Structure 1
Amino acid sequence: MKSLVTGANGFLGSAVMRCLLTAGHDVRVLARPNSDRRNLRNFAVEISEGDLRDPESLKRAVRGCDSLFHVAADYRLWVPDPETMYDININGTRALILAAHQEGIKRMIYTSSVATLGLNPDGAPGNEETPSDISTISGYYKRSKYLAEQMVKQLTDEHHLPLTIVNPSAPIGPGDIRPTPTGRIILDTLMDRMPAYVNTGLNIAHVDDIAYGHLLAYQHGKIGERYILGGDDMTLLQILKTIDSITGKKKNRINIPISVMLPIAWCMEKIANLTHSEPRATMDSIRMAKKTMFFSSKKAQHELGYQYRPAFEAIRDAINWFKENGYSNKLIKKHLS
């Protein structure tokens, strides 16, 4: 069984790669030339160089594979050029899936996001059936993933593809080399850069549990269905306090209203446009924070046998990995550049 994994040099993709190797799959990974391949070190995988914007490289990558795990995406909350993100997340996904279909790949798992799902006004956890609409979605990344998922559903119906969609929540754990926006929250807290918080919430899951959920979707997922792969719902303050409890630090933080944060984020974005460095807060991220992003994984638990460990363990493992890999005050600029 040969499986192609896209995004395997990234955070979630590398966890999916490790999970498949443990399950006995032969793994081929799609990696851009000159990309950061630290997450591929010491793993017996075949590397197919290519790019989601290069259709010919995608045809080479899928050749001879039995299954596809499309995990790769341009995941940034601030983008000076959103067209690149849309090209990768939507057009690249379409080209890859059609190439896999033409190759006759027998099983496809597409990694979407809970960003495509609706949110309940009362803050209750959303599920796969919670209504969503692009007009209510903030940010280029979330909109690109929403449009990509709609396109994937259409392709699945039109071509009768053997495809299942998974919607991960916020992954936490080892291997977050970039790091992701959620990983940055942990790092900023470790570096005493989180003196304040806003009233928002996230669904936190261990990256390895989400990765195993991909394998379960491959084994048991229904064609054309989507499954939330999540964990524990936590407010931002609970996340910060959990980090403090693990590190042994006691911090008093102030609550800042979102209405106050919006002009601050606006200024940060203006500075970022001049310095070409990612701002610490963006208008889109603050708008997202207006809503509590809680989700239920009950469907995946019931139909796939999905399970997840407590968020405390995910946060602890992320902290340990960041410390063990030199993400300190001294080296932080090197890793975040």
Structure 2
Amino acid sequence: MTTKLALVTGGNGFVGCHVVRALLARGDRVRVLARENADLSALVGLPVEIVYGDLRYFDSVARAVTGCNEVYHVAADYRLWLTDPAPMYATNVAGTEYVIRAATDAGVSRIVYTSTVGALGIPHRGVGREDTPSSLADMPGHYKRSKYMAEQAALEAARVGAPVVIVNPSTPIGALDLKPTPTGRIIVDFLNRRMPAYVETGLNIVGVADVARGHLLAAERGRVGEKYILGGENLTLKEFLGRLAATSGMPAPKMRIPYAVAFGYALGAEAFARTVTRRAPRASLTEVRMARKKMFFDSSKARAELGYSPGPIEAAIGTAIEFFSSRGPAKSAS
């Protein structure tokens, strides 16, 4: 029996490299689409085929898709602060349209599109689900707007026959968060004792390896045109920091920062970044606006239809702490 060939866009990224590992563990052959000069350190030692290209160009995407049985479109421009949003929309929206069109033209059996819970609605003081109403106007910042638009494009493609299944990961943590992600940065700051206080917000935290396995389950069992939340446990930021403290043995911050203070700090930090450093500030207005809502979500649909079953969040916290302390940017904290 011929093994399947799966294309993973962004397979060198945080979630993508774990999807690659899950596919290899299943016995599939894996091709990764990465940009020229991309950091491939998350794939070192893995038997994968690297194809260089750019999501912003259809011909580049079409070459990568050729001969594949499945496509996992994980790649995205994930920045919460930027000076020019145009490249983000080109990558996240047009790039998604190109991947789906190229994969459909190539006759792949399944396309799994990696969206985000950030593109979903959250009821007031409630828990978001796949069918919670949302709109572009509800999306703070260019990243969420671009991902919402890309998700809508994926849904429309499925309606006209593309074999697309959508997954909406919540907030993954774990090993190989090399950049790190905004949540990984919280862990790094905690380990380096650079988090004296916290804002009142909430997150759905999940192990990145569970999210990766959820992608494969979506390809195998997901219904075309459906969305599936790949989440874990709903925790306030204070509770999450408490879990970090319990696992690491380090004290958790006890002081809460009022929203107005956080907003003012971010306003100043962004102004300094735009006029002086030209680098992302430690806190952006988009992050502060996002913090106004508790990002709590329900994964029961994925559990029921896909057999998705994430493990205890403590295991993922332990893995993330171990990575950041031993090999990641918090090594000095160990």
Q: TM-score, normalised by structure 2?
A: 0.96
Tell me the residue number matched to 1:25.
28
Query: 2:122 is matched by which residue type in structure 1?
Result: L
Query: 2:100 is matched by which residue type in structure 1?
Result: I
Match of 1:4 among 2, 7, 21: 7
Q: Is the 8 A contact 2:173 2:184 kept in 1?
A: yes
Q: Is the 8 A contact 2:178 2:328 kept in 1?
A: no
Tell me the residue number matched to 2:217.
216
What's the offset of the Cα at 1:275? Answer: 0.3
Tell me the residue number matched to 1:297.
299
Tell me the residue number matched to 2:162.
161
Q: Go from structure 1 to structure 2 and tell me whether the alpha carbon gap of 1:102 and 1:252 turns closer, same or farther (over 3 Å shift).
A: closer
Match of 1:88 among 86, 91, 95: 91
Q: Go from structure 1 to structure 2 and tell me whether the alpha carbon gap of 1:276 and 1:330 turns closer, same or farther (over 3 Å shift).
A: farther
* Count of aligned pairs: 330
Structure 2 CA distance, aligned partners of 1:55 and 1:63?
12
5 Å-filtered alignment, 1:257-276, equals 257-273=258-274, 274-276=276-278
Structure 2 CA distance, aligned partners of 1:27 and 1:63?
13
Q: What SS does structure 1 have at the residue aligned with 2:234?
A: strand
Q: What SS does structure 1 have at the residue aligned with 2:99?
A: helix
Match of 1:278 among 277, 280, 290: 280
Tell me the residue number matched to 1:152.
154
Q: Is the 8 A contact 2:100 2:162 kept in 1?
A: no
Show CA shifts across 1:95-138 (max 9, x none): 1111111111111100000011101102x221111111111211
Q: Percent identity?
A: 48
Q: What SS does structure 2 have at the residue aligned with 1:108?
A: strand
Structure 2 CA distance, aligned partners of 1:105 and 1:243?
42
What's the offset of the Cα at 1:329? Answer: 6.5
Tell me the residue number matched to 1:322.
324
Structure 1 CA distance, aligned partners of 2:324 and 2:30?
27
Structure 2 CA distance, aligned partners of 1:86 and 1:120?
27
Structure 2 CA distance, aligned partners of 1:326 and 1:11?
13
CA RMSD in angstroms, aligned pairs only: 1.4
Tell me the residue number matched to 1:107.
110
Structure 1: gaps spanning 5 or more residues: 332-337
Higher mean C-alpha displacement, 131-140 vs 63-72 = 131-140
5 Å-filtered alignment, 1:35-184, equals 35-122=38-125, 124-158=126-160, 160-184=161-185
Query: 1:119 is matched by which residue type in structure 2?
Result: I
What's the offset of the Cα at 1:330? Answer: 5.1
Structure 1 CA distance, aligned partners of 2:198 and 2:256?
5
Structure 1 CA distance, aligned partners of 2:26 and 2:50?
19
Show CA shifts across 1:27-80 (max 9, x none): 000011111000111000111110111222111100111110000001111111
Query: 1:318 is matched by which residue type in structure 2?
Result: A
Structure 2 CA distance, aligned partners of 1:146 and 1:311?
27
Tell me the residue number matched to 1:334.
none
Q: Go from structure 1 to structure 2 and tell me whether the alpha carbon gap of 1:310 and 1:330 turns closer, same or farther (over 3 Å shift).
A: closer
Show CA shifts across 1:148-186 (max 9, x none): 10011112212x011100000000001101110110010
What's the offset of the Cα at 1:326? Answer: 4.3
Structure 2: gaps spanning 5 or more residues: none
Higher mean C-alpha displacement, 249-258 vs 35-44 = 249-258
Structure 2 CA distance, aligned partners of 1:130 and 1:310?
26
Query: 2:302 is matched by which residue type in structure 1?
Result: A
Q: What SS does structure 2 have at the residue aligned with 1:255?
A: strand
Q: Is the 8 A contact 2:61 2:99 kept in 1?
A: yes
